[in-house]
Amino acid sequence: MTDASFHPPETRDRLDMITLLSSSAFAGGNLFIGLSMGAYWLSLEASVFMETFFGQWLRFLFTIMPLLLLTLYGLVRSARLDAGDPALRRLWRRAILCWVATCLITLVLHMPLNLRLGAATFSPEEAAASNLYGLLSLFGSVTPETAGFTRAIWLLGHVPRIALAVALSVFAMQAVFHRRTKIAR
């Protein structure tokens, strides 16, 4: 008997809804950032990109972060409830691995670049007077000469994040649909 048998169907329906909506919105958010914002950033002079990126990133961070956390909640909770079914366990594990891989790319590649771009927004006087600058400049700072390369690396690194976020959402949908199909039989 799995944990799922202890939960009323409407509770599971809500969890499915949270999981599918948050993972799909997370994939859509990544797609928007990569395609729409990416096209916009490519249209800018490299120095303008360097000056404006960090403020824009902070704004969409407040949208993506709750989706990232809701997705994790839905995936882990669903995986626990479906742990007794090997096919579902495999799908949930794949979705969670996609989530983890997305986070690793973010932490290893994008976060240092984001911090470097944030450090580039400070004038020398502001940097000297700021406690935040020390954190932002841990990885150095982007210069006008390196801004174009930084933008290219950031956008290229975002491609696998998009693919992983979409795959995560697809695996979650497959798991939910597979379970619901089995229940309906």
Give me the tens of pLDDT residue by residue for the chain, a chain 185 residues long. 444 456 677 789 999 999 999 999 999 999 999 999 999 999 999 999 999 999 999 999 999 999 999 999 999 999 999 999 999 999 999 999 999 999 999 999 999 999 999 999 988 888 888 888 888 888 888 999 999 999 999 999 999 999 999 999 999 999 999 998 887 77
Q: How many CA atoms lie within 13 A of 183 on its CB side?
A: 13
Radius of gyration of the chain (CA): 20
Q: CA-based angle 168:174:179, to the nearest 5?
A: 130
The span from the CA of 18 to the CA of 63, in Å, is 15
Domain ranges of the chain: 3-184
pLDDT at 5: 52
The span from the CA of 128 to the CA of 120, in Å, is 13
The span from the CA of 139 to the CA of 119, in Å, is 9
pLDDT at 132: 85
pLDDT at 6: 61
Q: Which two tokens stand for residue 29?
A: 């958010």
